[in-house]
Homo-oligomer: A and B are copies of this chain.
């Protein structure tokens, strides 16, 4: 589901398509997800949300310097996007823009996922020495930059937006004061 959502969005993804992809009949889907399509999408968003945020420490821990780490993470995302034929993107971003006004329940789920990203990302960045408020602002800026850059990159079929956005976020974080990490 997440795969289909991120490639073609919510409205364009049919229950029949989901059933085929999951190698399950239609009836089984409605047995497990009584809320129908909406509930399946909600589950996919939650699952993707939980999985994606784990990439943040995984990618950023690779570099001791936080600024370099951020730029490298965007470059890695760019490589991934180009390598998968410009299809590999975040379903949360695609779906949120599409349903924010038309599907209140799903919008709420998307909001929860984003909030959990911000909270966990803020904690991570604070652990790397940023003040709490700075960490939160930086996390929002990072998420906005990567979601927006994904859209531009997929539209233009170019990694340039991602690289530029990565450099910008890195430079911004570089302007923030870094204290002594509470983790040592």
Report which residue of A89, A102, A161 has the largest number of chain B beta carbons within 10 angstroms of its beta carbon.
A161
- Does A7 make an interface contact (CB < 8 A)? yes
- Segment with Cβ contacts to B, from A20-28, A124-132, A148-156: A148-156
Interface of A is mostly: helix
Tell me, yes or no, whether A110 is within 8 Å of chain B by CB: yes
Instruction: Point out the residues of chain B lying under 8 angstroms from A140, CB to CB.
Output: 149, 152, 160-161, 164-165
Docked complex: A116-155 residues within 8 A CB-CB of B: 136-138, 140-141, 143-152, 154-155
Given contacts A155-B111, A156-B111, contact A138 B168 (CB under 8 A): yes
**Residues of A near any B CB (own CB < 8 A):** 7-12, 86-87, 89, 92-94, 96-102, 107, 110-111, 114-115, 136-138, 140-141, 143-152, 154-157, 160-162, 164-165, 167-169, 171-172, 174-175
